[in-house]
Amino acid sequence: MEKKNKILNVEEIHTFYGESHIIQGLSLFVAENEAVSILGRNGVGKTTTLRSIMGLTPPRSGKITIDGEDTTKLPAHAVSMMGVAYVPAERHIFPGLHVEENLKLAARPGDGDNPWTLERIYDQFPILADRTKQDGSTLSGGEQQMLAIGRALISNPKIIILDEPSQGLSPLLVDAVTECVQNFCVKSGITLMVVEQNYRMALKVASRHYLMGTKGKIAGVATTQELNDNPQIIHDHLSV
């Protein structure tokens, strides 16, 4: 098999909030065009891992590279300029701006053969095309998640990082968002990392899964096939 470029590489990071040592030597990587998940119980440090990668809560030690470039000490805006689109669990839709303004603010030219443009987003997300002039903050939870994903795509990033895209959504909307991530990210070969407690969703969108245990470390890694064949692995780590 062709050896793929690591778009994201995290080596032995340690991250603190004050004196609380949350992430204690975590390593992971995401290869180009790969969709990877991080699964773990409440409070193990999944969001903190993403905040470390984004430069929002930088690690005290260890190393993070994006497409080979060291970003460990970079502030969040610089990490985002390196081509990392982060969709936090709260989605951060800009209030007072309608759907199209939210998308236009995030748009960046892409260098591939088929970059994401406003037209392409509307074509793929009819829900957004029908609501171009609606204030983003008045969208339903599922629509806001679609807008947040559309905003990530239109920045034509090297990697999209989603924190709990299913959080707070009804089962029907979880299905819609899952389908959206499968269709618009996974099938178009976007490099993706998703944090989820909803492991059913994670198994549908990602092909490789990091199991985060206590002490902010990766306790194991498994493919979708391995987790489907041995559901016990998930039970052991997530107690579901």
Ligand X SMILES: Nc1ncnc2c1ncn2[C@@H]1O[C@H](COP(=O)(O)OP(=O)(O)OP(=O)(O)O)[C@@H](O)[C@H]1O
Residue 239 binds which one of Mg ion, ligand X, none, with CB within 5 to 8 A depending on kind? none
Stretch that binds ligand X, among 5-13, 14-22, 96-104, 121-129 (CB under 6 A): 14-22
Q: Does 47 contact ligand X by CB under 6 A? A: yes
The minimum distance between CB 32 and ligand X, in angstroms, equals: 26
Task: Report the distance separating Cα 83 and Cα 237, nearest Å.
Answer: 32
54 binds ligand X (CB under 6 A): no
Residue 157's identity, in one-letter code, is: P
Partner from Mg ion, ligand X, none contacting 114, C-beta within 5 to 8 A by type: none
Tell me which of 4, 5, 17, 229 binds ligand X, using CB under 6 A: 17
How many binding residues for ligand X (CB under 6 A)? 12
**30-49 positions binding Mg ion, by CB under 5 A:** 46-47
Pairing of strands 84-87, 159-163: parallel
Residue 114 makes contact with ligand X by CB under 6 A: no
Residue with tokens 């390196």: 82
Smallest distance, Å, CB 28 to Mg ion? 16
Direct distance between the N- and C-terminal alpha carbons of the chain, in angstroms, rounded to an integer: 35
d(CA 134, CA 114): 27
**Candidate segments 38-46, 66-74, 138-146, 202-210, binder of ligand X by CB under 6 A:** 38-46
Distance CA 100, CA 150 (A): 10
Please state, in angstroms and rounded to a whole number, the distance separating the CA atoms of residues 17 and 11. Answer: 19
**44 scored as a contact of ligand X (CB under 6 A):** yes
Partner from ligand X, Mg ion, none contacting 71, C-beta within 5 to 8 A by type: none
Within residues 164-223, the interface with Mg ion by CB under 5 A covers none
Instruction: Return residues touching ligand X (CB under 6 A).
Output: 17, 20, 22, 40, 42-48, 197
